[in-house]
A and B are shown apart, each in its own frame.
Chain A
Amino acid sequence: MTRSLTAPLTAIALVMLASPLHAQELNALVWCDHTDPALIAPFEAKFGVKVNLKEYEGTAAGLAILDQSRPGDWDVLVIDAVDVPRAVEGGHLAELPADKLATADFFPELVMAQNNVVDGKTYAVTEKFGYNTIAYDKTKVDPADMADMAALTGGKYDGRIAIYDYYLPVLGLVALGQGVATADLTADTLPTLREPLFALRKASKQVSDVVSAQTALATGEVDIMVGGGEWVTAVLAADNPNLDWTIPAQGGLRWAQSIGVVAGSTQPDLALEFVNYITSPEGQALLATSSCYWGMPANAKAGDVLTPEQKTALRWDEQPEFLARAQLYPIPDAALDTAMQDLWTEMLQQ
C-alpha cells in the first residue's frame, strides 16, 4: 500500500469505528415535532437502533405514502387522532396490545377510545394534544376582546389576523361561533358557516401554516391567530412572553395526535417499544417541548419530568378547565369532508 493511500484509509477506518453501528433501523412516518434529535437520541441509544424519520403534512399525504409503500417499509405512524379510524379502514395500522400501553397514566379525556379503538381493538394511542383557539399578542390586543369570537369580525382588528391554514379546526371554531357543536356539523349545517367564514377571511391578513403563523406573530406582522394555541405561543414564550392564548366564551377545539404501529411492520416489537417510549413520562416531556412545536403530553405523569417553567408555558394547572371547555375536531365522512374542503378552497380564493 502506498503512503498516499494509508492516511485516507486510516481516516475512513477511524470514522467507521467512531460512528455508531446500528444493527436495526426503525422507519417512522411522523410530524415535525418527532424530528427533534433530543427526543429520538435516548431511544436510539437504549436500543442501539437508528430511527429514520420521514415528516409528512396532511393525512391524505401520509396515507398516500403508505399506500405506495411495500409492507415492512414503515414501522411507526403518527397521525391526527381524528384520522385513526380512516387509517384503520385503509388497513394501515396494526392492533396494539392494550395491556402493554401506558394509557392508565393518561389524562382520562386523552385516552380517546372513540378514536383509537375500532371494533374493540386498539390501533393507536394518543401522544400529544392542545387547543385550536385564539392566540394573540397581549400588548397589542385587548385580552378582554379575545374572550368573544365576535370581536374578530367587528372591524377593530381588521388586517391584524392570521387564520391557521387547516380547515377542520377553523371550520370547527367558526361553527362554535355560530352555536353549532363540532359533533353537529353536517352537510345541512355547513352552509351556515359560509358567511361567517368569509367575513373572518375578509378581516384577516393571511392564512398561514405553522411556521408562517409563528413568524407572523413573532415579528408583529399580525397580532391575532385564529386556530392558534399553545402550539404557537409556547415555543416562542422565552423570546416573546407577550404572546398568549385563550379559549373564548363560545369554546375552542382540542387537537390530538396519535401514534401506532404500521400494519406489516417486520419488527412490531421494536415499533411497540418506540410507541411506549414516546408515551412514557420522559418521552412525553421531550415530545411536549419539541423544538418544532409544543403541546400538552397525553401522559399526566410527564408533569413529574417537565420543569416548572415548561409547565407554566403549557398552562398545566389550567388544563381541567380547558379540557372541559374544548370540543373535539369534527369527524366528517367523505362527502362532508369534500364539502368542507371545497368551502375552504373557495375561502382561500376570495
Chain B
Amino acid sequence: MTLATRERRLGWGLMAPALAWTLAFFVLPFAAMVALSFAHMDGRSIVRGFDPGNYIRFFTDWTLFKALVNSLEITAVVTVVSLVLAYPLAAIIAFRVPARWQRLALLLAVLPFWTSYVVRSYSWLLVLGQNGVVNKALLWAGVIAEPLALSASRTATVIGFVHFFVMLLTLTIYANLIQLSPNYARAAQDLGAGRIATFWHVILPLTLPGVVTGAFLTFVLCIGDYITPQILGGNTELTLPQLIMLQLGRSGNFPLASALSVVLMAVVTLAYAASARWLRLDRL
C-alpha cells in the first residue's frame, strides 16, 4: 500500500464519524421531509405519494404565500438595520477602545445573551408596552402625547431581532476589523484619500467577508425564527415559521408543514448562493 493510499484511507476514516452523523441526522431526515412534502391529507390521515398539491397551494394561496413575503420583508429590514448599527460599534471597539479593554467591551456586548431567548423576548414585551419603559420615557420627555403602539406589531418583532443580531454582527465584523493592518488606511491617506474615501474604497471592501458572513447568519437565523414574531409580533401577521408551526401544532398537516419547510430551506440556499463569494465562515 502506498503512502498516498494509506493517507487517503486515514482521511476517510477520520471523516467517517462526521459523515455518518450528517447522513443520519441531516441527509436522511431531510430526504424524509421532502418525500412527506409530496404527500397529502385525507381527513386526518396522511396519504403518501407524489402530489405537488402542497407546493401549488403555497404559491397560489395568498394567505400562505404572504407568510414568505412577511418573513422576507422582516428579515431584510432586520439585516440592514443591524448592519448599520453593528458596523460603527465594531469599529469603535476595534479602533477606539484601548486593546486591554476590548475583551471587556465584547463581553459587555454579549452579556444580555446569557439570559434565555424566550425570557428576553417577554422582557421586550414589557419594555415596549403601553406602560413600558420606552413609552414612559418618551411621555416624560414630552416627545409624545399618547403612548405609541409599539408592542404586538412588526416594529416590536424587528426591535427584538435587531437587539440580538447587532451583537452577532458586531462580533463577525470586529473579527475582520481587528485583523486589518493600520498600514492600509495610512497608505490610502498618504495617497490623498480622505476618511470617507478610505473607508469606502479600502476598509469596507477588506471587511466585506465579515459583513457578508454576519449578514448571512442574520438572514438564516432571522427567517427561521418562530419565537420572536410569535411573542413580540402579537400574531398580527404570520411569518413562514409561524405558518409551519400552525400546521404542526394545530392542523397535524405534516405534508403541508414539510412543503413549507422545504420552501424555507430553498430560500436559505438561495441566500447562501448569493453570498457564497464573500462568505468566510471559517473566520467565525
Contact = CB atoms under 8 A, between A and B. Distances in A.
B252 A63 contact: yes
A215 B63 contact: no
A341 B249 CA distance: 11
B249 A58 contact: yes
Contacts of B131: 219-221
B190 to A, nearest CB: 58
Contacts of B96: none
A345 B238 contact: yes
Interface stretch (B20-28, B107-115, B121-129): B121-129
A58 B63 contact: no
B235 A348 contact: yes
A64 B253 CA distance: 10
Given A86-B44, A221-B152, A205 B234 contact: yes
B238 A349 contact: yes
Interface in B30-72: 41, 43-44, 63-64, 66-67
A144 interface: no
Contacts, number: 83
Size bracket of the B interface: 20 to 34
Contact of B248 (A61, A216, A346): A61
A59 B248 CA distance: 10
B248 A207 contact: no
A334 B66 CA distance: 25
A335 B235 contact: no
Contacts of A319: none
B162 interface: no
Interface in B210-260: 230-231, 234-238, 243, 246, 248-254
B151 interface: yes
Interface in B91-139: 122, 125-126, 129-132
A165 B233 CA distance: 13
B130 A220 contact: yes
A159 interface: yes
A192 interface: no
Interface in A42-76: 57-61, 63-64
B151 A349 contact: no
Interface string A259-275: 00000000000000000
B231 A212 contact: yes
Contacts of B67: 349
Contact of B234 (A64, A212, A219, A335): A212
A208 interface: yes
A113 to B, nearest CB: 23
A224 B129 CA distance: 16
A333 B248 CA distance: 18
A341 B234 contact: no
A349 B246 CA distance: 12
A177 B243 CA distance: 28
Given A58-B250, A64-B254, A341-B251, A206 B44 contact: no
Nearest to A86: B44
Contacts of B125: 212, 215
B250 A341 contact: yes
B217 to A, nearest CB: 28
A165 B235 contact: yes
A267 to B, nearest CB: 28
Given A86-B44, A221-B151, A349-B67, A60 B236 contact: no
B141 to A, nearest CB: 21
Nearest to A163: B235
A211 B126 CA distance: 13
A348 B249 contact: no
A314 to B, nearest CB: 27
Contacts of B238: 345, 348-349
B235 A207 contact: yes
B281 interface: no
Contacts of B152: 205-206, 208, 216, 221
A345 B63 contact: yes
Given A165-B235, A206-B234, A221-B152, A60 B129 contact: no
Contacts of B237: 348-349
Given A215-B122, A215-B125, A341 B246 contact: yes
A167 B235 CA distance: 13
Given A205-B152, A207-B235, A349-B63, A335 B252 contact: no
B246 A208 contact: no
Contacts of B122: 211, 215
Contact of A159 (B149, B246, B254): B149
B49 to A, nearest CB: 19
B30 to A, nearest CB: 17
Contacts of B41: 338
A168 B254 CA distance: 20
Output the residue of A216, A334, A349 with the most chain B CB within 10 A.
A349
Q: Give the 7 A-B residue pairs with the shortest CB-CB distance, closest first.
A: A60-B252, A206-B234, A58-B249, A207-B235, A334-B43, A206-B152, A61-B249
Interface of B: 41, 43-44, 63-64, 66-67, 122, 125-126, 129-132, 149, 151-152, 230-231, 234-238, 243, 246, 248-254
25 contacts: A60-B248, A86-B44, A159-B149, A165-B235, A205-B152, A205-B234, A206-B152, A206-B235, A207-B234, A209-B230, A219-B129, A219-B131, A220-B130, A220-B131, A221-B131, A221-B151, A334-B43, A334-B44, A335-B43, A337-B251, A345-B243, A345-B246, A348-B237, A348-B238, A349-B237
Given A61-B248, A219-B131, A341-B250, 12 more contacts: A58-B248, A58-B250, A60-B249, A61-B249, A64-B248, A216-B152, A221-B130, A221-B152, A333-B43, A334-B44, A342-B63, A345-B63
